[in-house]
Amino acid sequence: MTDIILESITKSYDSGSRLFRRRKFSQIWALQDIDLKVSSGEFVCIVGPSGCGKSTLLKIIAGLEKPTSGEIQRPENIAMVFQSAGLLPWLTVEENVSLPLKMKGLSAKEARKQADFYLHLVGLQKFLQKLPRELSGGQRQRVGIARALSVKPDVLLLDEPFASLDTITVDDLHADLLEIWSQFKPTVIMVSHSIEEAISLSDRVIVMTENTIKKSIPIIFSRPRQVSQVGFVVAVTKIKDLIR
């Protein structure tokens, strides 16, 4: 397994405005001068105000978007969990998880077996033949996580996966995610808008503002972390100050 290394990554979009033909005016910066190293097996959270480019950064790491300039080094085998879960509505839960495995060349039977295993892992053994729309938001997200795990990724990327869920569900999913992480030890990079979520989960919180990384804050005290712990409160204040 290799580390993820990003060197002076920039990303800009053309605003598409024909009024300003000169490039200087028509460019919108999404990312500027991003240097980041994530070691293998590390759990990292990226936080920042909306529009700071954290999702764009994750997409670049995922290979979904190309950086305008800069170097990127990452392992081949990457899986991603999306905010909307990204399940295909016409396939059952089991088929949703086994489809990427079939694409990897597994036989239909073997793919189904693997899919069932990971769906058991996230506690959805009773829902194999359900359609995504018959599940709750939390259950759909679990399917997304099972699908991501089933390809045995070196890197697991999460793009605000718990943003639209209620707090009780989120707490359960946090605990499960940490357990899965300690069991399989993939590198995890998670984008979050919740500072508390970032601190309670990750080894390191990366704070982004205005399209660049402001600071990287290691969270060293041991898990499970409580919001009431002194270290937790200190970290929250520190990050909030950075964002302001």
Partner 1 sequence: MLKTYHSRYHFSYRTSILHHLSALIFTLVLLSFGLLVIFNFLHPVNLSDYKNVSIYDILLATTLTLFRMIMAFVLSIIVAVPLVIISTSHPKVEKILLPVFDILQSIPPLAFFPVLVLFFIKFNLLESAAIFILFMEMVWILVFSMIGGLKTIPDDIKNVASIYKITGLNEIWYILLPAIFPQIVTGALLAWGASWSIVIVAEVLHTYIPGGTISQDLFGLGSLLVNSAFYNNNLLFLATLLVMIIIISLMNVLIWQRLLHLVQRYKFD
Binding site for partner 1 (CB under 8 A): 59, 62-64, 78-80, 82-86, 88-92, 95, 99-100, 103-104, 108, 131, 133-134, 147, 151
- CB of residue 200 to partner 1, shortest distance in Å: 25
- CB of residue 95 to partner 1, shortest distance in Å: 6
The nearer residue to partner 1, 14 or 241, going by C-beta atoms, is 14
What is the amino acid identity at position 98?
S
The nearer residue to partner 1, 58 or 195, going by C-beta atoms, is 58
The nearer residue to partner 1, 99 or 243, going by C-beta atoms, is 99
- CB of residue 190 to partner 1, shortest distance in Å: 15
Rounded (5°) CA angle 21-23-24: 120
- CB of residue 114 to partner 1, shortest distance in Å: 13
The nearer residue to partner 1, 148 or 201, going by C-beta atoms, is 148
The nearer residue to partner 1, 5 or 99, going by C-beta atoms, is 99
- CB of residue 90 to partner 1, shortest distance in Å: 5
- CB of residue 103 to partner 1, shortest distance in Å: 5
The nearer residue to partner 1, 98 or 202, going by C-beta atoms, is 98
Backbone angles phi, psi at 200, to 5 degrees: -70, -20
- Reading the block at residue 37, the tokens are 């190293």
